[in-house]
Amino acid sequence: MRHAVRHLADGREIHYYDERDTHRDAVDTRDLPPRDPASEIRRDPLTGEWVALAAHRQTRTYKPPADLCPLCPSVPGRPTEVPESAYDVVVFENRFPSFSGGRGRCEVMCFTSDHQTSFGELSPERVRLIVDVWADRTEALSALPGVAQVYPFENRGDEIGVTLGHPHGQIYAYPFITPRTEKMLAVAAAAGGPVMGEVLAAERTSGKRVIAESAHWTAFVPEAARWPVEVHLVPHRRVPDLPALTPEERADFSRLYLKVLGRLDGLHDRELPYIAAWHQAPVSEGRDLAWLHLQVFSILRSADKLKYLAGSESGMAVWINDVTPESLADRLRAAPARYGFEEPAG
Nearest residue to 109 (alpha-carbon basis) of 193, 15, 223: 15
Q: Which helix (H) or strand (E) holds 125?
A: helix 124-142
Angle at the Cα of 105 from the Cα atoms of 141 and 113, rounded to 5 degrees = 85
CA distance 50 to 84: 37
Given phi > 0 = left and psi -120 to 50 = alpha, else beta, which region is 7?
beta
Catalytic residue among 15, 166, 168, 293: 168
Contact between 40 and 48 (Cβ < 8 Å): no
CA distance 86 to 73: 5
Sign of CA pseudo-dihedral 109, 115, 118, 124: negative
Angle at the Cα of 311 from the Cα atoms of 309 and 314, rounded to 5 degrees = 50
CA distance 150 to 16: 20
Q: State yes or no: is 7 an active-site residue.
A: no
Task: List active site positions.
Answer: 168
